[in-house]
């Protein structure tokens, strides 16, 4: 199993941060066929072989993803795509 942990600083208002998180989730759902749901300030996502969360905090968003095998073989690509999307949407 591969784990991905990305922390992105931001200066967004809570509503803007939530909208940015939803955009990240929508992109993940589209690319990796994930089911997503909000649990307070935590956006949880999952599918067979993948589960994770995007947690919103004041001035910070954190994504944690656990990849099962065989998806773990693509961990580098997944991390790069998520990191790129986080930087673009949570402009610090």
pLDDT for the residue numbered 1: 59
Q: How far apart are the first and last CA of the chain?
A: 31
The domain that contains 47 carries what CATH number? 3.30.310.80
Chain segment 83-92, per-residue pLDDT in tens: 998 999 897 5
- Domain span holding position 28: 2-91
Total residue count of the chain as it appears in this document: 92
Chain segment 46-90, per-residue pLDDT in tens: 999 899 999 999 999 999 999 998 888 889 998 998 899 899 989
Where do the H-state alpha helices sit in the chain?
14-32, 75-89
The structure tokens 């300030």 sit at 41
Q: How far is CA 16 from CA 69, 75, 87, 90, in A?
A: 34, 28, 14, 9
Chain segment 1-22, per-residue pLDDT in tens: 579 999 999 999 999 999 999 9
Structural domain count, the chain: 1
Whole-number CA gyration radius for the chain: 12
Q: How far apart are CA 7 and CA 14, in angstroms?
A: 16
Write out the two tokens for 41.
């300030």
The model's pTM is 0.88
pLDDT for the residue numbered 92: 54
């Amino acid at each position: 199993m591969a784990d991905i942990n990305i922390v992105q600083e931001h200066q967004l208002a809570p509503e803007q941060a939530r909208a940015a998180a939803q955009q990240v989730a929508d992109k993940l759902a589209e690319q990796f066929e994930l089911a997503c749901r909000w649990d307070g300030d935590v956006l949880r996502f999952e599918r067979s072989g993948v589960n994770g969360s995007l947690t919103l905090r004041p001035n910070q968003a954190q994504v944690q993803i656990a990849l099962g095998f065989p998806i773990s073989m693509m961990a580098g690509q997944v991390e790069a795509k998520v990191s790129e999307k986080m930087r673009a949407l949570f402009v610090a």
